[in-house]
Structure 1
Amino acid sequence: MACSCFPEDRPAARGGERYNFAAGPAMLPPTVLAQIQDELPNWQGSGLSVLEQPFTGAPFKDLMQQAEQDLRALLALPPNYRVLFLHGGASCQFALLPLNLLAPGQSADYLESGHWASKAIAEARRHTPLNIIASGRDNGFTALPEPGEWRLDPRAGYCHVTSNETANGLQLQHFPAIQAPLVADMTSDFLTRPLPVERFGLIYASAQKNLGVAGLCLLIVRDDLLGPPRAGLPSPFSYALQAEQQSRLCTPPTFALYCAALMLRWIGQQGGLAAMARAGRAKSQLLYRAVDASGFYHCRQRVADRSTVNVCFQLRDARLLPQFLAEAQRAGLYHLQGHGAVGGVRASLYNAMPLAGVERLLGFMHDFERRHG
């Protein structure tokens, strides 16, 4: 098994150790980028680009089948779950979830854990009654409500959680077993750790964090939730109809799907989800320890709820933030600005970010503090 921090994938060849800490689209492993570059004009010796492959052809069907098999192996996915490769990002699912999973007038439970959970709630409310089971709004989304505080409705059609809040730097560490189907937006921490899949009715995730490029949303849905589409729901947005057609009811996002297939294979080659989790903990703990030991930086998130993939922190003198970001970019450390709704600094440490990137960031932070603290 390869080293959990993937030194072989340090992007030294890309212009002098440049590291992309963007929340998404995120960095890709150099080996995957090189394979895309190599295969783009001539995929599998066909003489045609992967961009030109018909999705109904045998080669692309084989690619989709292999991608699903690799995903099933990584997650130890039970046979009663279907895998869907759909258009659009997770935000599309904010509306499509109630339209696919609920009967007209049926309510759903939602945990308000941060910026993206609030977005999901606002969109779902356009289509169905909601029950907010708990909220972190009163603490400024610096901590997650404990599962013991969740006020679950026994009549709810499903319970929605956001496993990782990219803007707020919070992450659910455990997923309780509940009566209603548990639905999770895992866009930013999907495939960063092993999961108790059997506790979920549905998992969805956009691809541009840990699965490649934007344009693809991957769904894992339990068979019993694939009911007939609601009247008026367009066929391409029906989970059941897409499942019947193996995600080929209409043209899927072929290039994004191809990139996801490469990323799934890469994750397996690095040692799978256990290796991803070890690397994620190592990278994030290094950064959190440095922030907590400093009087110059500070992290407002409760320690038990801190995200391993989106490390958010502040400069105690906020006036220095523009200079910090500008100097970081000149040092080859890109896209460290926090989300517009929160501010501060955000270092996104997805699977493709090597330990060397975090070490480079720490060196810059120590030097900036020495010069300005």
Structure 2
Amino acid sequence: MTTYNFNPGPSPLPQEVLDHAQANMFNFEQSGMGIMELSHRSPQYEGVHNQTIKQIRKLLDVPEDYSVLLLQGGASLQFAMSAMNFLPADQKAAFVMTGSWSEKAKKEASFYGQTYELATSKANQYKNIPEVDLSLVSPDTAYIHYTSNNTIFGTQWTRFPNSDQPAIVDMSSDILSKEVDWNTVDMAYAGAQKNAGMSGVTIVIVRNSLLDHASENVSPTLSYKQHDKANSLYNTPPTSAIYMTGLVCDWIEKNGGLKGMKQRAEEKAQLIYDEIDGSEGFYTGHADTASRSNMNVTFNLPSEELEKSFLAKAKAEGFVGLNGHRSVGGCRASIYNAVPKEHVEKLISFMKEFRSVNK
């Protein structure tokens, strides 16, 4: 039976990438060693490392005055690390609250400095991206933090406000799925395990002028300056994960780059939203229409009993990962870059059939 993987993360990898890795990573460049066995100081690995950074920079059209880092600890470490580096004692960090991940980011930053909410959609159950009034930004604000895509609630930013303060953006669930306007982003970070490879490596892209102002009172292991100075080789990097990110970047480039990924994402998302909107209320989307995500489609059925039945039957048919997050319930289809359109079409067929039997 075919497996249709709609997990929110880690997510599917392109089959082409898996096939290439299987054929090459366990005897890398005929060295007799797997990529995970190579010294991170070896010429073979350094070639992989530097090429991956080059590919990320090329795909995202990262300006020359930004550094690209490959770190560990996931996006969750960046919640704290960004504050440790960029939140002085006499300043504050502003957070735009769009769900659980922005809540966690603010909580982590609060351990290291002062924080405040600039805008929030919590009163609307995080169904929308809130309006941001930049006139409310405190003069002593060190940076504004955003979460670009909200996996749990199924909302996504289309653009970020262009403010005078630096903007730090958690792009974990939509990096490499669309182009980035670097005029409005001073630092982006993302765990790789949704659109950029496998778990273990975190991509950090930071404007050098912001990096110049990073605190000197941070331990080397948690200092962006130190990792930049060492080309992300200050300590042993997650070599296998970086190798896989490089392969994913190659796959993205061969499939139309970020424009191609954006088109794929929009087409897949629209198929599901059309089924939801045309179901006469049998399926209802959680997110407001204007804030809908192209990465995570969240929806409910008329009753909890029907949702349980839907999920059970879907699992029996080979659909994996359709459960909504435990904090909100319902259903969720995560359709990251590597999810084939054909699998989405199979899901639509299942949704139509289930509705016809249970309406």
* TM-score normalised by structure 1 residue count: 0.93
Residue 267 of structure 1 corresponds to 252
The one-letter amino acid of 1:86's match is L
Name the residue aligned to 1:300. Answer: 286
Q: Tell me by how many angstroms 1:41 deviates.
A: 2.0
CA apart distance, 1:148: 3.9
What is residue 320 of structure 2 aligned with on the other side? 334
Q: Does 1:146 align with 2:113?
A: no
Q: TM-score, normalised by structure 2?
A: 0.97
In 2: Cα distance, 1:283 partner to 1:170 partner: 15
2:330 equivalent to 1:344: yes
- In the other structure, the counterpart of 1:322 is 308
CA distance in 1, matches of 2:61, 2:217: 35
Aligned to 1:311: 297
Aligned equivalents of 2:278, 2:15: Cα separation in 1 = 33
CA distance in 2, matches of 1:151, 1:145: 14
Q: Give the corresponding residue for 1:157.
A: 142
CA distance in 2, matches of 1:149, 1:371: 50
Displacement after TM superposition at 1:47 (Å): 1.1
Kept in 1, the 8 Å contact 2:5–2:12? The answer is yes
Report the equivalent of 1:4.
none
Shift in Å at residue 198 of structure 1?
A: 2.9
Aligned position for 1:12: none
Which whole-Å deviations, capped at 9, do the CAs of 1:63-83 have from their partners, x for residues lacking one? 111111111111111110000
Displacement, 1:231? 6.1
Residue pair 1:75, 1:197 contacting (<8 A) in 2 also: no
CA contact (8 A) 1:188 1:209 kept: yes
Distance in 2 (alpha carbons) for counterparts of 1:194 and 1:77: 10
Question: Which ranges of structure 2 fall in alignment gaps of 5 or more residues?
Answer: none
Q: Classify 1:62/1:282 alpha carbon distance in 2 versus 1 (closer, same or farther; 3 Å).
A: same
For 1:251, the aligned partner's letter is T
Give the letter aligned to residue 196 of structure 1: D
Could you tell me which residue of structure 2 aligns to residue 69 of structure 1? 54
Greater than 6 Å deviation, 4+ residue runs = none
Identity of aligned residues (%): 37
Q: Distance in 2 between matches of 1:228 and 1:279?
A: 38
Within 5 Å, give how 1:19-38 maps onto structure 2: 19-38=4-23
Contact 1:32 1:266 (8 Å CA) reproduced: yes
Q: Bigger shift: 328-337 or 242-251? A: 328-337
1:233 CA displacement: 2.8
In 1, the alpha carbon distance for the partners of 2:204 and 2:307 equals 38
Give the letter aligned to residue 302 of structure 2: R
Q: Which residue number corresponds to residue 350 of structure 2?
A: 364
Letter in 2 for 1:307: S
Give, as a single letter, the amino acid of the residue that structure 1 aligns with 2:172: T
Residue-pair matches, total: 358
Q: Residue 149 of structure 1: CA displacement?
A: 7.1
C-alpha displacement at 1:232, in angstroms? 5.7
Q: Is the 8 A contact 2:12 2:338 kept in 1?
A: yes
Paired AA for residue 371 in structure 1? V
Shift of 1:244: 0.2
For residues 20 and 88 of structure 1, the distance between their equivalents in structure 2, rounded to whole angstroms, comes to: 25
Match of 1:45 among 30, 33, 52: 30
Q: Quote the Cα distance in structure 1 between the aligned partners of 2:266 and 2:230.
A: 39
Once residues 122 and 166 of structure 1 are traced to their aligned partners in structure 2, the CA distance between those partners, rounded to angstroms, is 18
Q: Secondary structure at the match of 1:198?
A: coil
- Distance (whole Å) between structure 2 residues aligned to residue 358 and residue 322 of structure 1: 20
Counterpart pick for 1:191 among 169, 173, 176? 176
In 2, the alpha carbon distance for the partners of 1:230 and 1:75 equals 27
Given that 1:192 and 1:277 are in contact with CA atoms closer than 8 Å, whether structure 2 keeps it comes out as: yes
1:210 is paired with a residue of what secondary structure? coil
Please name the residue that 2:242 is paired with: 257
What are the residue-to-residue correspondences of 1:6-155 with 2, within 5 Å? 16-148=1-133, 151-155=136-140
Shift of 1:104: 2.3
CA distance in 2, matches of 1:230, 1:178: 22
User: Distance in 1 between the 2:41 and 2:213 partners?
Assistant: 25
3-state secondary structure, aligned to 2:342: helix
Counterpart contact for 2:72–2:202, Cα < 8 Å:
yes
Q: Give the whole-Å Cα distance in 2 for the aligned partners of 1:167 and 1:51.
A: 33
The one-letter amino acid paired with 1:132 is E
Q: Is the 8 A contact 2:74 2:200 kept in 1?
A: yes
What amino acid does structure 1 have at the position aligned with 2:136?
A: R
Letter paired with 2:325: H
Say if 2:118 and 2:132, in contact at 8 Å, map to a contact too.
no
Structure 1 stretches lacking a partner, 5+ long = 1-15
Note the C-alpha offset of 1:150. Answer: 7.1
Instruction: Describe the SS at the equivalent of 2:141.
Output: coil
RMSD between aligned residues: 1.4
Structure 1 CA distance for aligned equivalents of residues 215 and 224 of structure 2? 11
Please list the CA deviations of residues 232-261 of structure 1 after superposition, one character each: whole Å capped at 9, or x if unmatched: 632111100000000000001111111111
The one-letter code of the counterpart of 1:135 is T
Contact conserved, 1:159 with 1:182, CA < 8 A, in 2? yes
**Cα distance in 1, alignment partners of residues 14 and 268 from structure 2:** 16
SS at match of 2:189: strand
Corresponding residue of 1:287: 272
SS in 2 for 1:138: helix
